[in-house]
Structure 1
């Protein structure tokens, strides 16, 4: 079944802005109802910004209203008549030249917020190299003074789904995630008052 763009962020929005049941939201977003309930209880996706499926053309207000009246109904994803995106083959990820300078920022964000990821996973996720990861981690990168941790999803280096799948795999392989309260809120947008990576004492 086709899923909406960024399912977890969509679930956050539906929890916060509709009276749909957990089961309805879970079915639409491809999640378990208990995970949706955990979002509502503030135990999962803490600080995540919800993604409006109406604004991005994946649902209509009428469809939401229809399902709010009957918990047995299921939301129907609007199908856009566009060509299917070809699945990315294994191998190095191509990154446009304009975005290549953002990779060290993405590496810094992943090192800071998701230690459960291995270097190999980070390489595959955003198309970087192990020497670059090591240089950012050790703060020996040539541009270390200007590196600021930024979420690779917001930088366009990977999708939210790819990030979530990589994190789940890292945990299954024995990686230890940070407690939610220690992770950056939201999607890691750059802040004017944020120190460069080379000056952060808590850099990993």
Structure 2
């Protein structure tokens, strides 16, 4: 790790500590710089704005998430079990992180509103693992053949968005969310086993 990477890591850690304590809105670049023992001007050599720091924090969080998703997608479990594990892990991982540090929710809300492309990029990455699960299910005969696994993955994401970012869209407890998630997954998996017909109008 070079000096520049070390400094970026130091800034991210300082930003996380301050944001978790005071919140995103009440944290300034000058304060983060002070926590790192550097000038306010110097911090802009590494991050152009506070929202860029927030995005870097979220990317670090997502890296851990994607590693877990990849392991689930590559496991030897039947495709329906992997699909269930995929969304249960996303729900639990995100919910627990926000419960531990409630101020992180503010960062997620800011990124949702100001960096929609970042959110879309993350969803596209997650679809890669979802498509692998669907394709493995088709190959094993667990899921009925489908013409466009990519589109089906996108629609599954849309149906389960509430559970991927739980505190952004719901005030339910984690246990109630898990109950709802498993109910919706029961319906989706039943549909995947019997076949999904996509109309032209749906894909537009």
More helix by share: 2
Q: TM-score, normalised by structure 2?
A: 0.28
Q: Larger C-alpha radius of gyration, 1 or 2?
A: 2
Q: TM-score, normalised by structure 1?
A: 0.28
